[in-house]
Structure 1
């Protein structure tokens, strides 16, 4: 966009509520150049608003990045409904392919990899919201069933019927093992959606879930 075009666009949008436009522009900038190289002025230009409006809504770049991260609130909401391991995989990678959520996830992860400050903010979100949501969801009952089945020598119900109806009987060691699950899924997502490793990027969602399921189950076997 030329400087003149940007100025005209800013003029048309003067005084208009532009918070969502700013967030969309920030997602694109964070995804393309990372946290450190993103500036308030560049985001404002891309959104077609005055930099002062960005500061009004978000105070500074850290506040802007926090706002982008907070748009991922759908993750803990979706995790609250997970009842088996295979559904977890399909849901998680499906969000990466969602036209609305995918760009936000890529922006946050790319920024987190390249900046200590962004990494800290991302870590707080993962540990404070996503892992906590998993511990409190019916997913904990699923893990308990996996451990029990392994102890009995039976089939692991990774893609079968739902697990326990509540998280009251969370499997022993679940909080310690969940970060390893998160690291595994994040690594696969980076390989598939950011780096584009062919063997990881080409399978369908269903094929990807089937391939990863045994490894995910193994994390929670007694």
Structure 2
């Protein structure tokens, strides 16, 4: 049996937890299942995280790293936002965990609101003064993510990332109202 360092063990637990919470949601996921997925004893999960709640909180850390698009060509801003957002839905990322759990778990729901307020709102505010637009953009992107990555609707799961960007970017562009901003 190969021994892992403490950092590697913790990273393995978080990877397993993200996958388990994304698949099962908060309520159905168990410490035992996470430990089994990580190939360790459940006591190790408790040693590193102390509780299911703390494990969930650690698994749900999200840094969208939204790019500053103020200097980007106006006709490329929406596609860049959609493309960047899609990159955060790969296996092992925290967004699928938050989205699945956010509709049934108060802790996940609050964490989604925090990510929106601290990361999405400021990024969109840098592009347009109307805060409602960030909500509309989030609704568009999260709705697509729910259908593609959580509910796995076949038409969306078979589309390439660039097909999704091409389909959704015009709506995001409209929500940013980039073409009409200078007219107001």
TM-score computed with the length of structure 1 as normaliser: 0.66
Structure 2: state its 5+ residue gaps.
Answer: none
CA shift for structure 1 position 197: 2.3
Query: Residues 119-198 of structure 1: matches in 2 within 5 Å?
Result: 119-136=109-126, 140=127, 171-173=128-130, 175-198=131-154
CA shift for structure 1 position 109: 1.7
**Would you say 1:58 and 2:14 are equivalent positions?**
no
Other-structure match for 1:92: 85
Cα distance per residue 1:151-200 (max 9 Å; x no partner) = xxxxxxxxxxxxxxxxxxxx321x22201211110001111222222333
Other-structure match for 1:154: none
Count of aligned positions: 171
Structure 1: state its 5+ residue gaps.
Answer: 1-8, 141-170
1:69, 1:125 within 8 Å by CA — same for their partners in 2? no
1:13, 1:48 within 8 Å by CA — same for their partners in 2? no
Structure 1 residues 64 and 133: alpha-carbon distance in aligned structure 2, compared to 1, 3 A threshold: farther
Cα distance per residue 1:82-120 (max 9 Å; x no partner) = 441111112222332x4543xx33233212233233222
Paired with 1:62 and 1:126, the residues of 2 have a C-alpha distance of 21
Structure 1 residues 199 and 46: alpha-carbon distance in aligned structure 2, compared to 1, 3 A threshold: closer
Other-structure match for 2:32: 41
Paired with 1:214 and 1:14, the residues of 2 have a C-alpha distance of 47
What secondary structure, in the 3-state scheme, does the structure 1 residue paired with 2:86 have? helix
Paired with 1:133 and 1:194, the residues of 2 have a C-alpha distance of 25
2:20, 2:29 within 8 Å by CA — same for their partners in 1? yes
* TM-align CA RMSD: 2.5
The answer to which structure, 1 or 2, has the higher relative contact order (CA under 8 A, 6+ apart) is 2
2:13, 2:34 within 8 Å by CA — same for their partners in 1? yes
Other-structure match for 1:199: 155
Other-structure match for 1:164: none
Other-structure match for 1:214: 170
Paired with 1:172 and 1:38, the residues of 2 have a C-alpha distance of 41
TM-score computed with the length of structure 2 as normaliser: 0.77
